[in-house]
Amino acid sequence: DTGVSQDPRHKITKRGQNVTFRCDPISEHNRLYWYRQTLGQGPEFLTYFQNEAQLEKSRLLSDRFSAERPKGSFSTLEIQRTEQGDSAMYLCASSTHLLTLHFGNGTRLTVT
Amino acid sequence: GESVGLHLPTLSVQEGDNSIINCAYSNSASDYFIWYKQESGKGPQFIIDIRSNMDKRQGQRVTVLLNKTVKHLSLQIAATQPGDSAVYFCAEIIPVGGGADGLTFGKGTHLIIQP
């Protein structure tokens, strides 16, 4: 399967701990997006990369969140000092255009 | 508040029947709409899209209707099957500077197919 891959699928952490998620996009896609989704809601945009450049960040992305895409391939999303409100599904998507997003199956974060 | 939303959070239909999922939007500047299907434990999957200069588009067993006068979008699924059970989201693209945050999702409708 050459779709978008996310790791881990599930993460349980204690409040105050740092967590890091990884996304491997479809190889020929230069665009990579991170979204957050809570139960019953649609995905909310967090940040966007074109190749290795982080071009956009949502105001939802507090300073505890940081994302990187160092070589323009895989990306990591780190959350520092996690809070219970960070519990959500974190989705990664890749594309060659905004109109054709391919989503991964997400990382479900639970902060206890 | 959100500019894209759905009228019903849950829709239950009999297998084989047709289903209609509705979506209202409020931003008249939206020029492109997408329906996504999300199965449990998976990411959203593209179903069908429509541009604002169209009022209908058909795919395989799915039809999207766009009524710009009342800012309403619907997804019709013909002859529903158990595999259609999922949450369906409409999403709109607002051409604000062409940015990635121009894609906005609604809250979702959970479609349940009864045997």
Q: Rounded mean pLDDT of B76-84? A: 97
Residues 6+ apart with CB under 8 A from A110: A10, A11, A12, A13, A87
Residue B92: both structure tokens together: 């709109």
Residue percentage of chain A with pLDDT more than 90: 79
Distance from CA of B19 to the nearest CA of A (A): 20
**In terms of pLDDT, which residue wins out, A74 or B101?**
A74
For position B5, what pLDDT does the model report?
Answer: 52
Contacts of B105 in chain A (CB under 8 A): 41-44
Q: B114 CA to chain A: closest CA distance, Å?
A: 21
Which secondary-structure segment (H or E) carries A77?
strand A75-79
**pLDDT score at B30:** 87
Among residues of chain A, what percentage have pLDDT more than 70? 98
- A99, B49: Cβ pair inside 8 Å? yes
Beta carbons of B33 and B88 less than 8 angstroms apart = no
Tens digit of each residue's pLDDT (9 = 90 or more) over B11-60: 999 999 999 999 998 788 888 999 999 999 999 999 999 999 999 999 99
Gap between the Cα atoms of A27 and B82, Å rounded: 33
CA nearest B40 in A: which residue?
Answer: A105
| Chain B, nearest residue to A91 by Cα | B43
Whether residue B62 is predicted with pLDDT greater than 60 in this model: the reply is yes
In this prediction, residue A94 has a pLDDT band, given cuts at 50, 70 and 90, of very high
| Cross-chain Cβ contact A58/B101 below 8 Å | yes
Going by pLDDT thresholds of 50, 70 and 90, the confidence category of residue A97 is: confident
Given a cut of 70, whether residue A19 has pLDDT beyond it is yes
- A7 has pLDDT over 70: yes
Between A and B, how many CB-CB pairs are < 8 A? 59
User: Measured on CA atoms in the order A97, A98, A104, A108, is the torsion positive or negative?
Assistant: positive
Give the model confidence (pLDDT) of A36-76 as tens digits. Answer: 999 888 999 999 999 999 988 888 889 999 999 998 899 99
More confident residue, A88 or B4: A88
Q: Measured between alpha carbons, how far is B27 from B52 in angstroms, rounded to an integer?
A: 12
CB contact under 8 A, A42 and B42: no
Mean pLDDT, rounded, of chain B? 88
Partners of B109 on chain A (C-beta within 8 Å) are none
Q: Pairing mode, if any, of strands B109-114 and B86-93?
A: antiparallel
Which residues in B lie closer than 8 A to residue A58 (C-beta atoms)?
Answer: 101
DSSP B41-77: TS--EEEEEEETT-SEEE-SSEEEEEETTTTEEEEEE
Structure-token pair, residue A54: 């982080």
Interface contact flag, B100 A4, Cβ < 8 Å? no
Q: Output the pLDDT for position B27.
A: 84
pLDDT-derived band at B2 (thresholds 50, 70, 90) equals very low
